[in-house]
Amino acid sequence: MKIKFSKKFTTFLIVVTCILLVLIIKILTAGSRGDLSQIQSGRVKGNPQTPVKIVEFIDFQCPSCAHGSKILKKFMAENPMTIQLELKYYPLNMHRHAFLSAYYAECAAHQGRFWSFEDLLIERQDQWSKLYDAKPYFDILAKDVGLNSGQLNACLKDPKVESIILAEREEGKKLGVQSTPTYFIIELPSNKQNSKILSKSFRVEKEKLNNGEMMVGVSLLQEKLNTFKQ
């Protein structure tokens, strides 16, 4: 009986150990790379029940993008139940730090700090955009918003981050985006059925974007926002 019990106990220990190892690996992986579904939702803010969705293709070094971001932030603060906003990356080759800033922003999203980091990128754009090497400045911003430096460094080396940025830029090109900021205003019927569907996820599919109203530049955005004021 003792021998049988010992074997069972040993088997139990092996199973428990394996389970613990799997859990540890998952935790470590999530810490450095994050869950993609959570990351994507981390770049969405606003009322999930609203029938008005705005998808913006943004270049963080673009001065007009910064102006548009400030307008949207002010509008959403004054009209909190009106729109929902999603940002998608569209770094322009003409801007030296466009891709690197998107890289840092995506890594901030991995840690649930996307909007905090985006706010600082926009507010201090005139400071870092003039630098030859903006990486040390971005490291300061990352510290200011409380990013874990170890996770950040691991994320910056992750090729999946580059793939996300390039994929969204390619998505923009297919939708006709040529410059930034470009907005897609999607107005859907406000009924209970659509509200339930929209509240589940705000990953806007290409078909829905194509049905939205495409706007290039801040002036057109401002005019459209005026029609949504509460």
The pLDDT value given to residue 6: 61
The pLDDT value given to residue 19: 60
HEC-encoded secondary structure of 35-56: CHHHHHHCCEEECCCCCEEEEE
User: What's the CA gap between 39 and 160, in Å, rounded?
Assistant: 12
The pLDDT value given to residue 41: 60
The pLDDT value given to residue 36: 32
The amino acid sitting at 123 is: E
pTM attached to this predicted model:
0.75
Of 74, 45, 54, residue with least CA distance to 181: 54
**Bridge partners of residue 87, in order along the sequence:** 56
Of 140, 133, 126, 204, residue with least CA distance to 172: 204
The pLDDT value given to residue 30: 40
User: What's the CA gap between 100 and 84, in Å, rounded?
Assistant: 26
Going residue by residue through the chain, which has 230 residues, state the pLDDT in tens, using 9 for 90 and above.
444 556 665 666 665 565 665 454 444 444 333 333 333 567 999 988 888 899 999 999 999 999 999 999 999 999 988 999 999 999 999 999 999 999 999 999 999 999 999 999 999 999 999 999 999 999 999 999 999 999 999 999 999 999 999 999 999 999 999 999 999 999 876 544 444 444 444 555 555 555 588 999 999 999 999 998 86
How many CB atoms within 10 Å of residue 24?
10
Greatest Cα-to-Cα distance within the chain, rounded to the nearest angstrom: 83
User: What's the CA gap between 42 and 84, in Å, rounded?
Assistant: 12
